[in-house]
Structure 1
């Protein structure tokens, strides 16, 4: 567990360093200082507000024991088994089956599921999925994934400002930024941010699978759910995820549709490997 936290801390530090590098390229030492301050402010802002922002992106609606009694009761039972406070519960009106958890701490957590996943999965499978999401809450992955999504989006936006620094003012005295340099920053900074973000995501999913299996007491249920979700998700778009791809790594299964670059920028470990590990757990074997 300590190794995962240390790795994640290094990866999050890399986000701040990337902010500084962009600022250095575009504005020298002053630009680096401004970018580092901006990166620090983004961290603080994301800590407090990113969870609600993500829920708004997905137009999630909060439900309670009266509006969604069976689903709410399922979350309450799993949270009690996990030794967690009751999270806020949300439903997203999307056909694609998927789910995620968010929040800066177990005391400020939320779980969300699409109407598609509630329609496609059996109650046993849905329970396995939501146990996985509560494992993310218990491991405090929700803070890391939500902050990384927010900062990755901010880095992409910052890189897009690069061309404003060219301004056509470059002269013999060296004023301005070389348009080629600005173009390279625009291209490669978001890619670097995405790679950092995906490394964070992939390092956390196996732990949440194991934790969810322990909370729910049924590794096979999550394995069955993962296979079914991936099969359905391939043919159904998740519109909010397509509009905000930096949030894709928060989902239990990759919600995005892509071409040949999909393998390079995988948001999750391969489902086949996740299922194999869960099957081994169900059989009492070590993977």
Structure 2
């Protein structure tokens, strides 16, 4: 017969535990969470800037999707990648990989997740909304700025949005949150399109309805609305900080694309004038 053993721990004693708050240890832990992803994001943005400035469109004969325009081919490729990772979320064996590298989690962040989560969606609704923007505004923007700037902005805006979210939730000690989705990247593309597009009216997609508002004014309204929704706290499942980071990256990309050539031409003209002045001074001597 089995008998339960009784263990006597003696009389209960009350003990008090004093927890010491060490600011240095807290800041050290925050730094450990932030620096790998920060360095990774800076590297990604640097590579994106290099890619945008050196990209040369391929000849039509060597293109993979010859029957589609470059903008539509790019959008369909991005859509296929996002759809593929959405399917992987339905495969339980892929969950460890998806949670590790395709989800940004402040509690235990991994640097590659800042880029990986940009192509990760768990719900079909989330995927459909982002891909709808990609197939409309994304295609329009691609036609304006070209593939190099478009892809560079898409990846840089998404990664920077992830980094912004990581910094915010780490510093506010909201480590239980997680973030996935291409919203930051798409809002970066929206900002890029609004900055580079010169028109006085906007047309609602798939309709003939136009409203008397410029793209830049629409962008300002969108950013103000994003900040208002964030402050109101009505949408706790939306990563507004990542959205704002995407907006910021897209604005910078648009300004560089729009005014970069002017700055370069101005520098070239200044160099020419300096050489002319040096030549004139040399002849006088």
Q: Same fold (TM over 0.5)?
A: no
The structure richer in strand per residue is 1
TM-score normalised by the chain length of structure 1: 0.30
Structure of greater Rg? 2
TM-score normalised by the chain length of structure 2: 0.30
